[in-house]
């Protein structure tokens, strides 16, 4: 957790009580004036006036707190703001505070980043290590309305703990509804590789094939990009499963601006990662990711290393994307330019993960040295 990081301010600000419409008191001084002068004061002894004033002030503070609580999280950033991916990373010491059993782990998984492997491992470990494993069957509702967010927060908080919950869902801040936050974990992947894998996965993977005309189904990723089809070259495409700006929203959140490729979305994502997320791995270093899970959450992931060694290859092959054609260098250059923000976030997460892993290894080595008899 960053001690010196400012919480961003919201693009929408709560209504100020100084901007009255005649129905709300404009200031506490008006109440004082009402009770301290004129004929009204004759009906209120001094003690009664003090009690009544305290009551008015209390109600004012309650209303103010309510409006502040439901207001969106602040974000003091704009599309023109400088990017802060050089933000100091969380230290291993700060993250290891979560090495007790948190009541809820929430894996708001990004598609095609090795998530099926982790789900299989967690499913088995739930029965071994004694936690509730909940696998969501909602796959294409990534962002929610305000009431849906509240309902979801209530649903998760009502589940039996300790809980491992997974779902494809953009980050949600439970605290704005006055509820405890789960501990978030995730894993991401090289942005272009993820897009290519998803593109072919939804065309040819048994059990996951989307309805498309045959001509469109057989269109290669290169043809999609070079032909400037919206599915590949627009941030959001024509549906929730199309477009190229797809990873940052999982960490930015539920606000509309999080689904647009701007510096504001990137900065909010980085802020949320440093405040709410524990382990975020990268699929190119999956073995190390598995190690960190067992280290950070031993009560959930005790034995995951042995299980991954035994089952990893089988699970990976089961869910590997078939009929995938690698993009050309020219297409990679086109998409790298479009994915500048996604790559900036990817390298921030990768650097953060590698720092955590190095600190973990140092800690384990130091512990082993301390415990070894001389």
Please write the tens of the pLDDT for every residue from 345-367. 999 999 999 999 999 999 988 87
pLDDT, position 329: 97
Enclosing domain of residue 44: 15-71
In a domain, 164, yes or no: yes
Name the domain count of the chain.
2
Cα–Cα dist 112/131, whole Å: 25
Same structural domain, 221 and 260: yes
pLDDT in tens, 311-332: 877 887 777 787 889 999 999 9
Same structural domain, 35 and 177: no
Same structural domain, 65 and 128: no
39, 71, 103 - which closes a domain: 71
In a domain, 77, yes or no: no
Q: What CATH number has the domain bearing residue 143? A: 3.40.50.300
In a domain, 254, yes or no: yes
CA-closest candidate to residue 334, choices 217, 214, 204, 192: 192
Active site residues: 168
pLDDT, position 372: 57
Beta carbons within 8 Å of 229's beta carbon, 6+ residues apart: 219
Same structural domain, 48 and 130: no
Same structural domain, 61 and 107: no
Cα–Cα dist 37/232, whole Å: 70
In a domain, 81, yes or no: no
CA-closest candidate to residue 278, choices 127, 158, 119, 102: 102
pLDDT, position 14: 38
pLDDT, position 22: 38
Same structural domain, 320 and 351: yes
Cα–Cα dist 111/247, whole Å: 9
In a domain, 312, yes or no: yes
71, 101, 136 - which closes a domain: 71
In a domain, 222, yes or no: yes
pLDDT, position 164: 98
Same structural domain, 26 and 137: no
Same structural domain, 67 and 99: no
In a domain, 82, yes or no: no
Same structural domain, 132 and 274: yes
User: In sequence order, which ranges of 218-297 are alpha helices (DSSP H)?
Assistant: 221-226, 230-233, 249-252, 263-276, 286-296
The structure's pTM equals: 0.74
42, 71, 100 - which closes a domain: 71
Same structural domain, 42 and 157: no
Same structural domain, 38 and 135: no
Cα–Cα dist 91/355, whole Å: 8
Same structural domain, 150 and 64: no
In a domain, 7, yes or no: no
Cα–Cα dist 32/268, whole Å: 42
- Which residues of the chain, if any, have pLDDT below 70? 1-100, 368-374
């Amino acid at each position: 957790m960053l001690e010196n990081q400012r919480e961003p301010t919201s693009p929408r600000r709560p209504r100020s009580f100084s901007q009255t419409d005649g129905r709300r008191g404009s200031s506490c001084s008006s109440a004082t004036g009402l009770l301290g002068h004129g004929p009204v004061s004759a009906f209120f002894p001094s003690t009664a006036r003090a009690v009544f004033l305290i009551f008015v002030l209390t109600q004012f503070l309650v209303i103010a707190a309510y409006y502040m609580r439901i207001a969106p999280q602040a974000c003091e950033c704009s599309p023109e703001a400088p990017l802060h991916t050089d933000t100091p990373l969380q230290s291993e010491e700060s993250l290891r505070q979560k090495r007790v059993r948190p009541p809820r782990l929430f894996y708001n998984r990004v598609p095609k980043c090795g998530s099926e492997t982790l789900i299989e491992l967690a499913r088995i470990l739930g029965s071994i290590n004694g936690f509730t494993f909940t696998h969501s069957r909602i796959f294409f509702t990534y962002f929610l309305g305000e009431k849906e967010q509240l309902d979801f927060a209530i649903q998760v908080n009502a589940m039996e703990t300790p809980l491992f919950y997974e779902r494809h869902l953009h980050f949600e801040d439970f605290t704005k509804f006055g509820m405890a936050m789960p501990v978030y974990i995730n894993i991401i992947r090289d942005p272009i590789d993820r897009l290519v894998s998803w593109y072919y996965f939804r065309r040819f993977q048994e059990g996951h094939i989307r309805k498309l005309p045959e001509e469109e189904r057989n269109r290669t990723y290169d043809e999609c990009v070079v032909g400037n089809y919206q599915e590949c070259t627009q941030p959001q495409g024509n549906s929730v499963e199309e477009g190229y700006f797809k990873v940052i929203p999982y960490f930015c959140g539920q606000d509309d601006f999080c689904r647009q490729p701007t510096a504001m979305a990137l900065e909010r994502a980085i802020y949320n990662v440093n405040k709410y997320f524990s382990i975020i791995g990268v699929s190119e270093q999956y073995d190390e990711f598995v190690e960190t899970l067992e280290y950070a959450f031993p009560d959930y992931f005790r034995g995951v290393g042995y299980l991954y060694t035994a089952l990893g290859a089988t699970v990976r092959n089961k869910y590997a994307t078939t009929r995938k054609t690698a993009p050309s260098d020219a297409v990679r250059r086109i998409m790298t330019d479009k994915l500048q923000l996604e790559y900036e976030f990817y390298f921030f997460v990768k650097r953060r993960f590698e720092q955590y892993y190095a600190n973990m290894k140092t800690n384990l080595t130091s512990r082993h040295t301390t415990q070894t008899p001389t």
